[in-house]
A and B are shown apart, each in its own frame.
Chain A
Amino acid sequence: MVLSDLFDGIVLILTGDPEVWSIAFLSLLVSTSAVALASAIGIPLGVFLGRSNRGNGVFFSSVLNTLMGLPPVVVGLTVFLILAAEGPLGTLNLVFTPMAMVIAQFVLTLPIVVGITKSAVNEIPEDLPKLLKSMGADEAQTRLLLWHEAKTGILIGVITALGRAFSEVGAILIVGGNLKGYTRVLTTAIVTETSKGNYGVSLALGILLMSLSFCVTAFVTALQHRR
């Protein structure tokens, strides 16, 4: 029974059902926007923390590591309360919009990017800059070479953040409200369809979600492998 439902679900996706595709598009948009912003802010922050000797203590690292595993529902609830009509940012009218979902996923993924970037930079041997300079590299060349050294590790942070964002459901459900045709994304659509007993459609949406996630991750992985 589930198998024939699954078949129907796959047909729905392949025949280009506009609702399914707009849901998939929003998933892609929200998660990549959040991770792009988290990377734009988090990578420099992580590089800074990794290079300065501050921020390497056990306490600070533990705090950062805990933040990397923030519970999505707690982030969702907190962002919701801040953005809600009677909250401090209520006048922005952001609750139940895609923008609110991006904000929530940004909060979730920023610590991941910062934390993994920091440890990637930490991995670089301390005397490597001196070595490079002794071999005749100028300041700009040194920095570029160091960047290449850390790049693989930093992009692992971005890939991890993307995985987190794509699979996340708790936070965007609370701040987005799962509004049909507006803030419904693949993960929340799967919750909705499962609760209605449409298991086949849910499974098909799950396959679509994983395919999208694969495409985006493959793109970043290609960047990682580029010399």
Chain B
Amino acid sequence: MSQVPRSYFGLWLIVLLLFSVVYSISYSKNEVLLLATTTSVDNSGLLEHVLDAYLKDKPHLLVRVIAKGTGAALQLAKDGQVDAVIVHAEQQEISFIDEGYGINRTTLWYNYFVIIGPKDDPAGVSESSTILDAFYRIYQTQSPFISRGDESGTHQREKQIWDLLGLSPYDQYWYLETGSGMAHTLVTANQLNAYTLSDLGTYVQLKKNVGLQLEQLYSKEEPLSYNPYSYIITNPERFPERNVERAKDLLVFLIRNPELVSGYQVDGIVLFRPLGE
């Protein structure tokens, strides 16, 4: 073996050493709960706030959060990758349950979708009487509109509104899709001085962080702007390896402690309201 330089064995030693560390991190003895959520509950800081309270007396529990749009979160659950989801798209949630992927769908919190747009409001969105009227004005005036375009709950709602109006803006020159999260979409809309549909939480958080020039132009509380967030547990019959007991325990904690949510504010604004308040 004299032809192999000694440093080569040293290299394998390093590999072994590094891999034992990676291995021990990857398979920790701690209990793990995997949660896929919409970006809004994570970006707004709400999730961290409630999980900190939940984890206070549970040193060996790790909650890992994958923040994606509702579509991606539900897909992860369908593939058996997570223990529970927090999402906001009623139709998709119902078919998710009907197809046998999830159980215990519980609506925990709600807020209202808002329309964000340029200060001078060329479409006159702030004068509209309903959210349908607001979207109609944007279409009529061909004002730039930025869509999430990522099958998230917000994107679903936006498409539902266009459908109800019988309008199809998707190939219009003033209609753009980012295909990414709410925060990025808001930043894009801000750069392009365009309108967008947003959840309240991400907008308030971003207004504070980035100093968005855009204003909240429409925020009426009506059924079409109602934005409920639901917690769904992965069906244990389908995915027996998932940590369903812990997912149920967290759900019970969230139901019993609504004040954690109603007391959470960013810049003095309550972002989510617990159901039944």
A96 lies within 8 A of B206 (CB) = no
Q: Which residues of A contact B (CB under 8 A)?
A: 1, 26, 29-30, 32-33, 36-37, 39-40, 43-44, 84-86, 94-100, 102, 139-140, 143-144, 147, 177-182, 195-199
Which secondary structure characterizes the binding site on chain A?
helix
- Contact: B66 with A196, CB < 8 Å? no
Tell me how far the C-beta of A225 lies from the nearest C-beta in chain B, rounded to whole angstroms. Answer: 15
Residues of A within 8 A of B2 (CB): 139-140, 143
Contact call B64/A96, Cβ cutoff below 8 A: yes
- Bound state CA distance, A180 and B62, in angstroms? 10
Q: Chain A residues near B18 (CB, 8 Å)?
A: 29, 32-33, 36
**Can you list 7 A-B pairs, Cβ within 8 angstroms, ordered by A?**
A29-B21, A85-B239, A97-B26, A139-B3, A196-B43, A197-B183, A198-B209
B14 part of interface (Cβ distance < 8 Å): yes
Given contacts A95-B81, A143-B3, A196-B209, contact A182 B62 (CB under 8 A): yes
Binary interface profile of B, 195-221, with partner A (CB < 8 Å = 1, else 0)? 000000000011001110000000000
**Bound CA–CA A94/B181 (angstroms):** 26
Q: Helix, strand, loop or mixed for chain B's interface?
A: helix
Give A39 to B2 CA distance when docked, in angstroms: 20
Are A29 and B43 within 8 A (Cβ)? no
Residues of A within 8 A of B26 (CB): 94, 97-100
Contacts of A140 in B (CB 8 A): 2-3
B232 within 8 A of A: no
The residue that A179 contacts in the complex, of B22, B65, B211, with Cβ under 8 A, is: B65
Q: Is B34 an interface residue (CB 8 A)?
A: yes
What's the Cα separation between A196 and B79 when bound, in Å?
A: 28
A36 touches B11 (CB 8 A): yes
Closest beta carbon of chain A to B26's beta carbon, Å: 4
Q: Of B8, B65, B79, B187, which contacts A180 at CB under 8 A?
A: B65
Give the residues in chain B near A30, CB-CB below 8 Å. Answer: 22
The A-contacting residues of B in range 22-68, CB under 8 angstroms, are: 22-23, 25-27, 34, 43, 62, 64-66
- Assess whether B253 is interfacial by the CB under 8 Å rule: no
Residues of A close to B22: CB separation below 8 A: 29-30, 33, 98-99, 102
A144 to B7, CA, bound (A): 12
